[in-house]
Amino acid sequence: MWYIFTGVPLLGALIHFFLSKKPKSINRITELLLLWYLGVGIGIGSLFSGLVQVLSPEIVAQSTGWGYSPFLREVGFANISYAVLGLLAVRFRNFWTPVIIAYAIFMWGAAAGHIYEIQQTGNLSAGNAGAVLYMDILMPVFLIILLIIYHKTQKNNKSSSIVV
């Protein structure tokens, strides 16, 4: 499922960019990528993950190769909180940085847990290793880079439009 929540935002942002009547720029494409990844990738993706963890934690336990624990439901509620924040970030730009920071901490913590599990038990289940692990590490990096580019190009756009 990870590919849906990485591919759909990319496709949505590109379509949005090319159909938009606003001027095309690096700032505009990073803005749209952030909007789509925050809203769909984190918002809807985390809502989906959170609901599965809350309603069917046994499925998550099986996919990760871990034993069932009531703690999986708690992680599900954490995911739902990221979902709400991601969806709010579509409307409120001042949420972008805090959402990305919180998401990065959670995902990198999850990645550390996956790596520990691989080292200690050799658990290479689909929900513990491979694409899941790489996305836990790389998606926050991607969002941080987009945010930095967005802010740098936004400053350049504002300073170049100032008439002296």
* 100-142 pLDDT, tens digit each: 999 999 999 999 999 999 999 999 998 889 999 999 999 999 9
* 19-29 pLDDT, tens digit each: 999 999 999 99
161, pLDDT greater than 50: no
Tell me the pTM: 0.88
For residues 109 and 20, give the distance between their C-alpha atoms in angstroms, rounded to a whole number: 37
- What is the structure's pLDDT at 163? 37
- What is the structure's pLDDT at 158? 61
For residues 102 and 60, give the distance between their C-alpha atoms in angstroms, rounded to a whole number: 22
In the predicted model, what is the mean pLDDT of residues 152-162?
A: 66
Side-chain half-sphere exposure of 28, counting CA atoms within 13 A: 12
